[in-house]
Amino acid sequence: MDIEQLDPTPEDYAFRDEVRRFYDQNLTDEHRRAALLTTWALAEFEYGRSWQKILYARGWGAPNWPVEYGGAGWSPKQRLIWEMESQRARPPEIMRMGKNLVAPCIMTFGTDEQKAYFLPRIISGEDWWAQGYSEPGAGSDLASLQLQATSDGDDYILNGSKIWTTFAQFANRIFCLVRTAKMQKKQEGITFLLIDMDSPGIELRPIYTIAGEHEFNQVFFTDVRVPKSRRLGEENAGWSVARHLLLYEHSAGLLRMVTELRWRVRWLNELVGLEADGYGGSLRDDPDFSRRLSLLEIAVEAADFAAAQLIADAKPGAPPDATGELLNIRNRETAQALTELGAEAVGYYGAPDQRGARKVVTDVPVVGPPHVLLPMPFYLAQRANTIAGGTPEIHRNNVAKHLLGL
The per-residue pLDDT for range 101-138, each reduced to its tens digit, is: 999 999 999 999 999 999 999 999 999 999 999 999 88
Q: Given this model, what pLDDT does residue 299 score? A: 92
The per-residue pLDDT for range 282-293, each reduced to its tens digit, is: 888 999 999 999
The per-residue pLDDT for range 162-205, each reduced to its tens digit, is: 999 999 999 999 999 999 999 989 999 999 999 999 999 999 99
Q: Given this model, what pLDDT does residue 76 score? A: 83
Q: Given this model, what pLDDT does residue 390 score? A: 66
Q: Given this model, what pLDDT does residue 354 score? A: 92
Give yes or no for residue 396 having a pLDDT over 70: yes
Residues 213 and 171: beta-carbon distance below 8 Å: no
Position 324 confidence tier, pLDDT thresholds 50, 70, 90: confident
CATH 2.40.110.10-classified regions of the chain: 129-237
CATH 1.20.140.10-classified regions of the chain: 253-402
Q: What is the mean pLDDT of the chain?
A: 90
Mean pLDDT of 13-20: 97
Mean pLDDT of 365-384: 91
The most confident of the ranges 4-13, 20-29, 242-251, 297-306 is 20-29
Q: Given this model, what pLDDT does residue 259 score? A: 77
Q: Given this model, what pLDDT does residue 321 score? A: 66
Give yes or no for residue 251 having a pLDDT over 60: no
More confident residue, 295 or 304: 295
Residues 223 and 201: beta-carbon distance below 8 Å: yes
Q: How far apart are alpha carbons 304 and 311 in whole angstroms? A: 11
- 67: buried, middle or exposed (CB in 10 Å: 19+, 13-18, 0-12)? exposed
Give yes or no for residue 358 having a pLDDT over 90: yes
For 129-237, CATH number out of 3.40.50.300, 3.40.50.2000, 2.40.110.10, 1.10.150.530 equals 2.40.110.10
The per-residue pLDDT for range 346-355, each reduced to its tens digit, is: 999 999 999 9
Proportion of the chain above pLDDT 90, given as a percent: 65
Q: 253-402 has which fold?
A: Butyryl-CoA Dehydrogenase, subunit A; domain 3 (1.20.140)
Give yes or no for residue 322 having a pLDDT over 70: no
Least confident of 215-229, 284-298, 302-316, 372-386: 302-316
Q: What is the pTM of this model?
A: 0.86
Proportion of the chain above pLDDT 70, given as a percent: 94
Give yes or no for residue 317 having a pLDDT over 80: no
Q: Given this model, what pLDDT does residue 170 score? A: 98
Give yes or no for residue 279 having a pLDDT over 90: no
Give yes or no for residue 248 having a pLDDT over 80: no
Q: Given this model, what pLDDT does residue 211 score? A: 83
Mean pLDDT of 243-266: 74
Q: How far apart are alpha carbons 115 and 121 in whole angstroms? A: 10
Mean pLDDT of 238-245: 90
Position 281 confidence tier, pLDDT thresholds 50, 70, 90: confident
Residues 294 and 354: beta-carbon distance below 8 Å: no
